[in-house]
Amino acid sequence: MESTLNKKRNKIIDIYKKSGIYFTDVELSKIEIADFDLNDFENIGLGVIIYINTEKVCAKELALLPLQICPQHKHPMIGGLTGKEETFRCRWGTVYLYVEGENTKQIQAKIPEKYYKDFTVFKEIILNPGDQHTLYPETWHWFQGGT
């Protein structure tokens, strides 16, 4: 019987394959499955292929299941080092990105009620294939996959 982790990984691999981007078998075998220790992967989590991740630079491909959320966070200064700058580029589907600023009146995201209190920034940026947005260090943000 297929393990829960493998089921999650296979769902993420399907999304990567639908994106039309070529990934090697080695990259697909090293996908990280993040559920942020909430054990609610269908709602909160993501799949990650890491190209590089150092103190100053990272390059990653993120994959979200439909309506899956990466929780609100920021990249703070640590040990005197400025936090990471982050650029999101949508490759396939739709991504709803939420950042600091004037709240969008009616956001597209669907937040499960039990998590709503954990989100405080609601300026919506909708990313479709080819769209990108750069966030600077210390910027609160979260994002959700489209349907």
CA angle 86, 92, 97 (to 5 degrees): 40
Q: Strand pairing partners for 145?
A: 95
Block residue for tokens 């990259």: 27
For residue 1, the model assigns a pLDDT of 60
For residue 80, the model assigns a pLDDT of 85
Stretches where the chain sits below pLDDT 70 are 1-2
User: DSSP label at 30?
Assistant: T
For residue 111, the model assigns a pLDDT of 97
CA angle 61, 118, 56 (to 5 degrees): 40
**CATH C-level class of 4-145:** mainly beta
